[in-house]
Structure 1
Amino acid sequence: MDASTEKPRLTSLAHGGGCGCKLAPAVLQDLLSGMPKAGPYAGLLVGTETADDAAVWDLDGTTSIIATTDFFMPMVDDPHAFGRIAATNAISDIYAMGGKPIFALAIVGMPIDKMNPEDIRQVLAGGASICVEAGIPVAGGHSIDCPEPVYGLAVIGTCPTAQVKRNSMARAGDVLILTKGIGVGIYSAAIKKAALDRAGLDEMIASTTLLNRIGPELAADEAVHAMTDVTGFGILGHGLEMARGSNATLTLDLAALPFLDEAERLAQSGFVTGASHRNWKSYGDEVVLPDGLEDWRRHLLTDPQTSGGLLVAVEPGKADALLARIREAGYPRAAIVGTVEAGEPRLVVA
């Protein structure tokens, strides 16, 4: 195959990748501010008012329906892996609310003049394989011819109404647990420049295809007060959403945050996404950083995560036991990373 007919890298067909494709937090907030309110629907327990992970509708006072959608452009060149990552990320929003997924619908936009049909089939197969792991069918969907490859899912789940977990329910005194390592956006920036080795790629795929299926178990624990998943706005952005929603100050311990193995080295070498800059510009005035913090360390904190971990606010006396349960369930990087305190709604890094 000569250079003129060589198949293009999947990531080269898109201007962004993964959750780094998200609109900047400030842009999204501005767009939503002009939208009409959803109205006085008694069954709508969670809408857009708290920047939560999914919509929640109370059916009968006992059971709630959780609905979400998530899709993005490729962050890896392997189409099967792209499908798996996108599906894992989409299902995560159900788990983050404390729910169990019941079925999914595929969202597919592909440049059919640029992609081999077999590669498109592999994207779909990858997504379907993750749905099998989650125990749900892909029950339908919609597809279009699109200038850039886009894939994701709309996912429906259920949850006992009393166990729905919002990002706005953290309490003063709570301890914060993060279940996965940070650095996915930095790794994806390295992929774009062919600077991530096979071990790093395998590590990133393993993290981004690890389902947050422990969410319903955590939601059933009365000691767990709030949850969210850390995705495109970074640990600072999603922590700040929890602080705003809970009307509290969240403090993160920089030394305690878990990172992917090569994240710090790559950040120091300048691998950073445009989304990291947009994130800081959007919410930096509500974040207090240590004096003299290097830019590369700040980029770790604003790094957009794709299919990131759960950020969990838990009663302090139960935090150690809960952390042990999370690690035993298959999340070895899980760590206690901060606290919730009464005070101005902001985020502090110590």
Structure 2
Amino acid sequence: MSYNNLKIAYGLGGNMDKLYCKGGGCTAKLGAGILSHILERLPEQNFDKNLIVGFDSKDDAAVYKLSDDIAFVQTLDFFPPMVEDPYTFGQIAATNALSDVYAMGGEVKTALNIVCFPQSSDLNILGEIMRGGLEKVKEAGGVLAGGHSIDDTDVKYGLSVTGVVNPKKIYSNNTGKVKDKLIFTKKLGVGIICTAARIGECDEKTLNEAIESMTTLNKYACEVSKNYDIHACTDVTGFGFLGHLLEMMDNDKSCVIYADKVPVFEEAKALADEFLITAGGQRNRNHVGEKVFFDNIPFSMEEILFDPQTSGGLMFAVSADEADSLVEELKKINLPASIVGEIIEKTDVAIKVVK
């Protein structure tokens, strides 16, 4: 099959765009406000003291205690394609799904494929997607144990992942402390870049840099963090930098973010200035905007902070006296980590963004 035929069959050329590329990656995620509204209306469950983390906590994954020393971490994630190459899409989708285990401080053990694919299309394309996913599960140290597939008009792929963690060493997303420094491990802007690339408005070098970021497992940042007293952690994905940060504040803390310290793809700023932004970013702005104060921050940077991230970095809350050392270690493994802000006592705004 030629590259052009592959592109069309995969849904990224000609009229097939409307079928498969409606909004790939974490830009396809339902808005945080919609999800909260739905979850609040679900009936109460029977209490189980071994469920340490459930959906009511808005954390990154569920955690269920098996013994005093072992709990399993459960998560799943899947979405439509955001890049042309099926193997690369499989890698990105798997890396994104695996990330939630690392956001909880856990280790990946098993994964199951989640597949939606049109049966009438070339199944070699599906094979490439799944091969990309398998490679990332192997890199994570896990085992691909099976999965489920359905015939669908739209391509979607991801994983259900199980990991393990010591119940006493779970990374929750809302347990940061006042005076903690906030450290972020990847560059922002991949949602804007992928959207621009799909309509031919992004250069290949920038797209490749974004792909490299999206296919970098958060495993390595998590391993480094184990040497430090991490008070809280989350991974920044579909709700954007500010949306996930708001969940970390949990209505009882506030934070100051230093915009100039946040790692970003410089090309994403130029693209945002040209209004090449995502619908997901606008959903995030609508949900979070009233709880954020921007102190003379450029429009492009605002958009990057709202931008949905596919397979984004980890955000750590760590004591001030350990922050510089943690950043130094993260940089040694070639991550663009930086201290991006600090947690403060609760104020009238949850997040203040300054230069």
Task: Give the TM interval when normalised to the shorter protein.
Answer: over 0.9
2:253 pairs with 1:248: yes
- The TM-score, its normalising length taken from structure 2, stands at 0.93
The code of the aligned residue for 2:323 comes to A
Contact 1:104 1:156 in 2 (8 A): yes
What SS is found at the alignment partner of 1:176? strand
Q: Matches of residues 110-259 of structure 1 in structure 2 within 5 Å?
A: 110-113=117-120, 115-218=121-224, 220-244=226-250, 247-259=252-264
- Contact 1:100–1:216 under 8 Å retained in 2: no
Partners of 2:44 and 2:225 lie apart in 1 by 28
Structure 2 residue identity aligned to 1:235: F
Matched, 1:289 2:290: no
Equivalence for 1:336: 339
Deviation at 1:39?
Answer: 3.2
- 2:32 aligned with 1:28: no
1: CA distance, partners of 2:65 / 2:9? 47
Gaps of 5+ in 1: none
Q: 2:307 aligns with which of 294, 303, 309?
A: 303
The alpha-carbon deviation at position 36 of structure 1 amounts to 2.0
Q: After the TM superposition, which residues 54-93 of structure 1 pair with which residues of structure 2 at under 5 Å, given as runs? A: 54-93=61-100
Q: CA, structure 1 residues 311+105, in 2 after alignment: closer, same or farther (shift >3 Å)?
A: same
TM-superposed deviation, 1:161: 1.2
- Rate the CA distance shift 1:103–1:27 in 2: closer, same or farther, 3 A: same
Contact persistence 1:240–1:250 (CA under 8 A): no
1:220 to partner: Cα distance? 3.1
Shift of 1:132: 1.3
What's the secondary structure of 2:114's corresponding residue? strand
Instruction: Note the C-alpha offset of 1:218.
Output: 5.0
The residue number in structure 2 matching 1:315 is 319
3-state SS of the aligned residue for 1:304? Answer: coil
Match of 1:270 in 2: 275
TM-score, normalization by structure 1: 0.94
Q: Which runs of 5+ in 2 are unaligned?
A: none
Q: Which amino acid aligns with 2:11?
A: L
Q: 1:39 to 1:5 in 2, by over 3 A?
A: closer
Deviations 1:179-214 (A, max 9, x none): 000001001111221122221121011000000003
Cα pair 1:249 1:346 within 8 Å, conserved: yes
Aligned equivalents of 1:125, 1:38: Cα separation in 2 = 38
How far off is 1:236 after superposition? Answer: 0.5
> SS at 2:56's partner residue?
coil
- 1:294 deviates by 3.7
Secondary structure at the aligned position of 2:250 is classed as: helix
1:48/1:5 Cα in 2 relative to 1: closer, same or farther (>3 Å)?
closer
Q: Output the CA distance in 2 between the equivalents of 1:4 and 1:77.
A: 12
- CA distance in structure 2 between the aligned counterparts of 1:308 and 1:42, rounded to whole angstroms: 32
Instruction: Kindly provide the CA deviation profile for residues 55-95 of structure 1, in whole angstroms up to 9, marking residues without a partner as x.
Output: 00111121111000000000001000000000000000000
Q: Among all aligned residue pairs of Structure 1 and Structure 2, give the percentage whose two residues are the same amino acid.
A: 37
CA distance in 2, matches of 1:329, 1:4: 39
What amino acid sits opposite 2:244 in the alignment? H
In structure 2, what is the Cα distance between the partners aligned to 1:149 and 1:327? 36
Structure 1 Cα separation of the partners of residues 75 and 7 of structure 2: 37
Q: Look up the match of 1:19.
A: 26
- 1:222 deviates by 4.9
The 8 Å contact of residues 70 and 152 in structure 1, kept in 2 or not, is answered as yes
Output the CA distance in 2 between the equivalents of 1:329 and 1:66.
26
Question: Considering only aligned residues, what root-mean-square deviation do their CA atoms show, in Å?
Answer: 1.8
